[in-house]
Structure 1
């Protein structure tokens, strides 16, 4: 049985849905509610999950889309409870195929709501929950800026946004999108102020752990400037972050020896930490050494002779450093490297580079002008 509600009045749609759901065993009357369409919808939504079992997928989606078509006609100020009840019903669906149906229906509902509707936030929150369960986050989340633009006409409260960002962070990590997850967590920590930074303790720790564990995150310095992270100063988690921000491999090893149980208790992998610290240490060495011998790398990074070349190849794959390996001379020639920290010295260096570039451009322009400027013939 396939439903087409386009040409039916709301009352008729409601009556058809009542009759169909009752035929499936739902405890619902086939009679219209004397209280009107909103009460009809309330009762229909209450039993709409009856169609989740032993019903063709096409019919399930048609029934749920029919409910959406009625929901969007209800004035926003009276639709909140109905939308929330419907969203919660859909998030409780089980099974991959059924969840994919509810994901499409929730997306239709989200897209059908006016941009100024406060219900868009609640629908999107449930939409993320469903997308996470079926590994479809790429279809509902693009990036932080796009997310904020979605709610520009009706921004959620700060508490609501924090709740959504926490959910997004967990969902993105589950979908192995650690880069976006890290950006979402930084956005979350940015929602706290000096006055309430102490309340963000758990979020700050989660942010630090996610950044340290992510094999693709190397620029950790910005985390230290976040107010909730600064609130952790003096604690071991902050000390560990500081090691990854600016210290060398030997400092991490010392920290690990002194606090082995703490590091392991965080769920961090020591061998992965060592690998990351070797890369970070190499970057730091490359900042002040345009040329390094294999022997120096062995000593600084505690590598065996046969491990040096594979390590350099791994570094080049990250594109953190531009370099050329000279096997015959047992050296590495550094062209450029990403800075581990970007403070005042790096800004001054960047300023000098830009000033030099500007002067060179001016010189080129003047030189070209002298070449192409027509010579003025002297008057006879």
Structure 2
């Protein structure tokens, strides 16, 4: 996100005086006279009424006003500006719920974040407000790119583990609201990775939210890695872990049995049964494709419990996901599979990959030897 650079060639006191006068003209309840207590008290009163510029004021004037406040904040010593920065952030985050102001307030918060020294502990708190203010997909994309980049945002003042967990939870919620489900899933996995064996039992709520988000996400199909996370392992024996295990490695009938026995649980978790059915059909088809390169329509219909005439449209939907590569022979009523993504990737899959690579290596050596023989034969001629 690009933000304007603020250069104001007057003293802090003069800047505060101008802001006081401007707020007064907007009808704010503030005196034009500077405070005898100093610049911090001036700024405290200005921030308290700065939302007066949000009404009946042009967007450019709003941005100039907010940037002027930022220019004063960043020049105050850290120990004198912390409470003022928090108060300013709260004002802007609240204003970000309004449509036309969301982009302006986000830019002002981002300017404040970037302007603070890398050693400032306030960068963390400002960034949390930046994320809260990012209400739209294009906004969150401009201030958050990926987890690896996130860790470098705070310079030399790295957040402690509790702070990072709070930020990752906040990011996860905002990303989901902005329909960034793939990024949200990565953030949640990162969050669960912050727990150790000693405190993994404290992460039950986070682990459950992670599982539910993954199950509900229509584009997430590789669920096996979740089972290896320590907080998720602490849920073994609970219904949510049983449900995850079904999505990881079992077929549609297992899910239908679970739903029949625990219908109220599935509904109470906010999961949609029809969406669950759709995902389980896809996962079941992937599992069938792992062991069968050729499947009849009748087998697909039986295994996936489809109605007459639904097989062709289902296969088309599968091919759109690119989880399986196959071709459909409608006259023969068969599907020929060329490759499929594995639902789980454990020791067996690694062994298969190793065998395949060894086979390729052997074939390449054979081709190389044959080419050498051809070269020798041509030379002899």
Q: What TM-score comes out, normalization by structure 2 length? A: 0.91
Q: Which residue of 1 aligns with 2:322?
A: 319
Q: Which residue of 2 aligns with 1:346?
A: 349
Match of 1:149, SS state, is coil
Q: CA deviation at 1:369?
A: 6.4
Question: How far does the alpha carbon of each residue in 1:201-224 deviate from its partner, in whole angstroms, 9 at most, with x for none?
Answer: 111111111111111110000111
Which of 198, 210, 213 is residue 213 of structure 2 equivalent to? Answer: 210
Q: Which residue of 1 aligns with 2:175?
A: 172
1:136 and 1:64 mapped to 2: Cα distance?
Answer: 18
Within the alignment, does 1:81 sit opposite 2:83 as a pair? Answer: yes
Q: Which residue of 2 aligns with 1:123?
A: 126
2:365 and 2:81 mapped to 1: Cα distance?
Answer: 64
Q: How many residues align?
A: 374
Within the alignment, does 1:162 sit opposite 2:165 as a pair? Answer: yes
Maintained 8 Å contact 1:5/1:66:
no
Which of 230, 234, 238 is residue 233 of structure 2 equivalent to? Answer: 230
Maintained 8 Å contact 2:137/2:178:
no
**Kindly tell me: are residues 212 and 320 of structure 1, through their superposed partners in 2, closer, same or farther at Cα, counting changes over 3 Å?**
same
Within the alignment, does 1:13 sit opposite 2:15 as a pair? Answer: yes
Within the alignment, does 1:28 sit opposite 2:51 as a pair? Answer: no
Match of 2:310, SS state, is helix
Q: CA deviation at 1:100?
A: 2.3
Match of 1:306, SS state, is coil
Q: Which residue of 2 aligns with 1:304?
A: 307
Maintained 8 Å contact 1:221/1:341:
yes
**Kindly tell me: are residues 288 and 5 of structure 1, through their superposed partners in 2, closer, same or farther at Cα, counting changes over 3 Å?**
closer
**Kindly tell me: are residues 347 and 16 of structure 1, through their superposed partners in 2, closer, same or farther at Cα, counting changes over 3 Å?**
same
2:72 and 2:43 mapped to 1: Cα distance?
Answer: 8
Match of 2:236, SS state, is coil
1:134 and 1:23 mapped to 2: Cα distance?
Answer: 36
2:118 and 2:108 mapped to 1: Cα distance?
Answer: 18
Q: Which residue of 2 aligns with 1:41?
A: 43
Provide structure 2 residue ranges, at least 5 long, that are not aligned to the other structure.
1-5
Q: CA deviation at 1:194?
A: 1.5
Question: How far does the alpha carbon of each residue in 1:287-330 deviate from its partner, in whole angstroms, 9 at most, with x for none?
Answer: 11111111111111111231111111110000001111111221
Within the alignment, does 1:104 sit opposite 2:107 as a pair? Answer: yes
Match of 1:150, SS state, is coil
Q: What TM-score comes out, normalization by structure 1 length? A: 0.91
Provide structure 1 residue ranges, at least 5 long, that are not aligned to the other structure.
none
Q: Which residue of 1 aligns with 2:200?
A: 197
Q: Which residue of 1 aligns with 2:3?
A: none
Within the alignment, does 1:330 sit opposite 2:339 as a pair? Answer: no
**Kindly tell me: are residues 365 and 30 of structure 1, through their superposed partners in 2, closer, same or farther at Cα, counting changes over 3 Å?**
farther
2:137 and 2:273 mapped to 1: Cα distance?
Answer: 32
Q: Which residue of 2 aligns with 1:56?
A: 58
Aligned-residue CA RMSD (Å): 2.4
Maintained 8 Å contact 1:96/1:134:
no
2:7 and 2:295 mapped to 1: Cα distance?
Answer: 73
Question: How far does the alpha carbon of each residue in 1:243-272 deviate from its partner, in whole angstroms, 9 at most, with x for none?
Answer: 110000111111111111111221111111
Question: How far does the alpha carbon of each residue in 1:100-137 deviate from its partner, in whole angstroms, 9 at most, with x for none?
Answer: 22111111112222333222211111111111278732
Q: Bigger CA drift: 71-80 or 12-21? A: 71-80
Match of 1:7, SS state, is coil
